[in-house]
Amino acid sequence: MAKNIIYAVFLIMNFVLFAQKPCVFSTNITDSLGVYKATKDYIVHERIFGDKANYVFLSLIKSNETPYLKLQTIQKSKELIKVYCLDSSSKIYFQLTNGKIVTMVYADAENCGTMIRLESENKYSRVNSGTFMFLKGSFEDLKSFPISIMRIKYGIDTLDYVMVKELKSELTNENYFPENYFIDFLNCLE
């Protein structure tokens, strides 16, 4: 019985150690004010249908010793785009495959994004981003279990995104693995 438990722990440790991806930082600064690191933006949702496109990106930030999650959404359409505002009541919920729900709280000022008119494409584009704080004790579950659903609670709206095992992006023509985002990249904050 003890051998089986030790073997199971060994397998889980190997899975976690070898599942992690190398850290690619878009920003990595150390100066007299401290340390600031941000991982490259990573696509976790992409939907293109007709003239409309929606993208959701995540990146991890470590500012001195405090870890954050940066969320960025981009919407494109020929029609005007609905506004989703992030405010002090905003949260991100991650439902993991083990059934647990991990909550992150918004850490920035109110933000309704920026609307840009793309004359060359005859489209509108709305870009919104915000920073969320990890709650105490959430790292272990995020490192150990894939994400099944991400829920973003805006000021008055809520949007759900099903996290898929693999996403072939039309935007970048690369493969992404949204459900394993934290398993693969949380080590970048250590």
Tens of pLDDT, residues 112-124: 999 998 888 788 9
106 or 35: whose pLDDT is higher?
106
Report how far apart, in Å, the C-alpha atoms of 87 and of each of 11, 67, 101, 105, 179 are: 42, 20, 21, 10, 26
Per-residue model confidence (pLDDT) at position 185:
96
Give the pLDDT confidence of 125-155 residue by residue, as tens digits. 999 999 999 988 888 999 999 999 999 999 9
- If one compares 40 and 80, the residue with the highest pLDDT of the two is 40
Q: Which residues contact 86 (CB under 8 A, 6 or more apart)?
A: 106, 108, 110, 111, 112, 128, 130, 154, 155
| Predicted local distance difference test score (pLDDT) of residue 175 | 97
Q: Which residue has the tokens 């007299």?
A: 32
**So what's the pLDDT on residue 12?**
45
Provide DSSP, the chain: -HHHHHHHHHHHHHHHHHHPPPP-EEEEEEETTEEEEEEPPEEEEEEEETTEEEEEEEEEEEETTEEEEEEEEEEEESS------B-TT-EEEEEETTS-EEEEEE-S--B--EEEEETTTTEEEEEEEEEEEEPTT-HHHHHHS-EEEEEEE-SS-EEEEEPPS-EE-TTTS-EE-GGGHHHHHGGGG-
Task: Return the pLDDT at 104.
Answer: 96
Checking if the pLDDT of 90 tops 80, the result is yes
pTM of the model: 0.85
Predicted confidence (pLDDT) per residue in 10-48, tens digit: 434 444 444 567 888 888 788 878 888 999 999 999 999
Residue 169, pLDDT > 50, answer yes
pLDDT at 173 over 60: yes
**pLDDT at 68 exceeding the cut of 60:** yes
pLDDT, averaged across the chain: 88
